[in-house]
Chain A
Amino acid sequence: MYYRRTLTEAQINQQLLGTVLTTPLWWIVLVSLLGIVVAGAVGAVGWMINQGLGVTGLRQPVFWGFFITNFIFWVGISHAGVMISAILRLSQAEWRRPMVRAAETMTVFALMASLAMPLVHAGRPWRIFYWVFPYDWARGIWPDVRSPLVWDPIAITTYLTSSMLFVYTALIPDLAIIRDRSTGWRRSVYGALSLGWHGNPRQWKIQGFAGILLSALILPVFVSVHSIVSWDFSVSLVPSWHVTIFAPYFVIGAVHSGVSAVVTLMIIMRKLYKLENFIWEEHIDALARLLMVVALAWMFLFWLDLVFALWLREEQEITVWMLRMFEPPWSWLFFLFFMFSFVIPVPLWMFRRVRRSFTWMLWTSLLVNFGMFLERFLIIVPALMRKGPQTFTYATYRPSPVEFTIIFGTIALVCFLLLIFSKFFPLIPLWEEKEGQLLIDHVKVGNVYVPALVKEH
Chain B
Amino acid sequence: MPVGLVVVSHSRALADAAVELARGMLPGREQVIEVAAGDVDGGLGTDATAIADAVTAADSGDGVVVLMDLGSAVLSAETALELLDDDVRERVVLSPAPLVEGLVGAAVTAAAGADRDRVAAEALRGLAPKQAHLGG
> Does B bind A?
no
Binding site for A on B (CB under 8 A): none
